[in-house]
Structures are given as structure tokens and as C-alpha cells.
Amino acid sequence: MSTPEGPRPQFDPFAKRSWTDLGPRVASAIVLLLMAAFGLYFGSYVFAALVGAVFAGCYREWERMVTLRPLTTTGGILIGILAVSALIFPALGALASLALVAVGALVAGVTGAPEARAWRAGGMLFYGIVIVLLLMIRGDATWNVPGAFDTGLWAGLILGCVIWATDTGAYFTGRQVGGEKLAPDISPGKTWSGAIGGFAFGTLVGLVLWLLVVPQSPWWIGLVLAATLSIVGQVGDLAESAIKRRFRIKDSGDIIPGHGGLMDRLDSLTFGTIFVFLVGALHSGLGSVAAGFLYW
């Protein structure tokens, strides 16, 4: 016979919560937002260099995670390949960048410990593709598409702000409200309240930006895209948590105070980038991805 459950603790909205990591998180977020805004505004090689450096840093964390060893010379070469793949995009285009990424994936797949080769090659391909897709979203201006500067800038802004707002809403709502765990076997810290709060705030921010940036496009399309983008970002967060659980690590790194590693901060953005690219490319073609995402 099972013993009766004790009384459930009552939710107290005024209970004291631990916010000791709030200061470092806010400071780090401000620095990251300023860097992203700087890169988006100038585009071209400036944005390519920023994207290359950031996602090369992500792969560095990935390499150490999946090999469970200190970084090797080959690992350093793979990191460099990812960074260069971004830098050559403005001059040589997407195919050249993808070809270099493919070379890196091949090297990753035939070197190092056999049990880690598939993970290394997969990481190279994933981050390399995300680099190219992100540059294609912002990089329309290099192809002299009319209005491409505005579309690339604004599409990137909506992408970044929805992801940031979702993460922020989830953090504050989950920390203050708590409650039922969202996926305890994958990420014990995430709650349903955080997921709902992140979804609501991310969708709201995305809709407001949509109305300001493309008032000529139907508002309900902006609502659907912002809501879906918020959900996709949270799926990306859970996917990275599942991989970290597979390798039994909590944080991918400690480079960002209050956030952990670059992977921890950009997991939502990677999935969001893929979503924005697919919507824009399917709607208007590969030559005007940002415009395809914004104009309906």
C-alpha cells in the first residue's frame, strides 16, 4: 500500500528567489547584444568575421565535449576552417563556404578517436551550415538586391530579438514561478512556466518588431512567425541540453559569465536561424532570403 502524499507546498509569488547570477547575466547579455547589433549594422566582412569567430568558438566547445579530451592540433585546424568559411563568404559566396566546411567535416570524420568521429563531423557540418545560412539571411546586400540592406538587417534583428526575448522571459518566469518540470530527464532546470513565459514574451517582442519593421505585411503572419520562432528556439535549447546530458556535462564552457559557454547561449539561435532561412528561401528563393521572410 502506498503511503499518502504529504501536503503540497503552496506557491508564494513573494518568496525570496536566488538572483545571484542576475548581474553577470545582464552584463553579458548587453555585451552580446551590442556585438550582434554592430555586426548586423555593418554586414559584409564585419558580420562574417563576427559570425565566424562566434561559431568557431562553439565548435571548440563541441570538439572538447565529444572527444572528452583537451584540444588537439587537428581540433584547432577544424576551428580555423569554420572561421575561414565565414570570412570567404562575402567574396566567394555560399558554395565556396560550404565546400570548405565539407573538407573540414571529412577531416573530422577520419581523424581522432573512432568513437568521436561521427560527432566531430556532425558538429562541423551543423555549425558550418548555420554560419552560411546566417550570412545568407544578412548577406543579401552583397548580391545587390534592391532594399537588401534593410531586409537583411531587419530579418536578423527580428531573429535575434525573438530568441533573446524568449530566453529572457523563460529565465525570469521560470525562476519566479517555478512549478512542473518541462523535461526533467533532459534539462532538470527548465519548467513549463518558464517555457510559457518565454513563448509569450518572445512572441510579443517579435510581433511588435514586425509591426514596426514591415507594417505592410499582415500582422497575423508576423504573429505566427514570431510564435513559431520562439518555439523552435526552445527546441534548440532542449536539443543541446540532451546532447550535453549524453556526454554528462552541465555547461559547454565558461566563457560567458552567468551563461556558461557559447553553445549554451547560441543553441536557440542555431535552430532559429534554420527556421528563418527555410521560411525566406521557400517563399522567395535563395537570392532574397530576408525579403522572403519579411514581405508577404
Residue-wise pLDDT tens digits, 23-43: 666 777 777 788 888 888 888
Taking Cα atoms as reference points, which of 261, 254, 294 lies closest to residue 277?
294
- What confidence score (pLDDT) does residue 63 get? 92
Lowest mean pLDDT among 9-23, 50-64, 124-138, 195-209: 9-23
The dihedral formed by the CA atoms of 73, 79, 82 and 84, expressed in degrees to the nearest 10: -70
Lowest mean pLDDT among 15-24, 134-143, 204-213, 255-264: 15-24
Distance in angstroms (rounded) separating the CA atoms of residues 203 and 152: 20
Region 194-218: mean pLDDT is: 95
- What confidence score (pLDDT) does residue 3 get? 45
pLDDT tens digit sequence for 77-132:
999 999 999 999 999 999 999 999 999 999 999 998 899 999 999 999 999 999 99
Structural contact between residues 135 and 93, judged by C-beta atoms closer than 8 angstroms: no
- What confidence score (pLDDT) does residue 41 get? 87
- What confidence score (pLDDT) does residue 147 get? 47
Rounded to 5 degrees, φ, ψ at 285 are 95, 170
Q: Write down the pTM of the prediction.
A: 0.87
- What confidence score (pLDDT) does residue 132 get? 97
Taking Cα atoms as reference points, which of 87, 162, 76 lies closest to residue 132?
87
- What confidence score (pLDDT) does residue 149 get? 54
Distance in angstroms (rounded) separating the CA atoms of residues 229 and 202: 8
E strand segments, the chain:
181-183, 187-191
Structural contact between residues 233 and 162, judged by C-beta atoms closer than 8 angstroms: yes
- What is the domain partition of the chain in residue ranges? 24-294
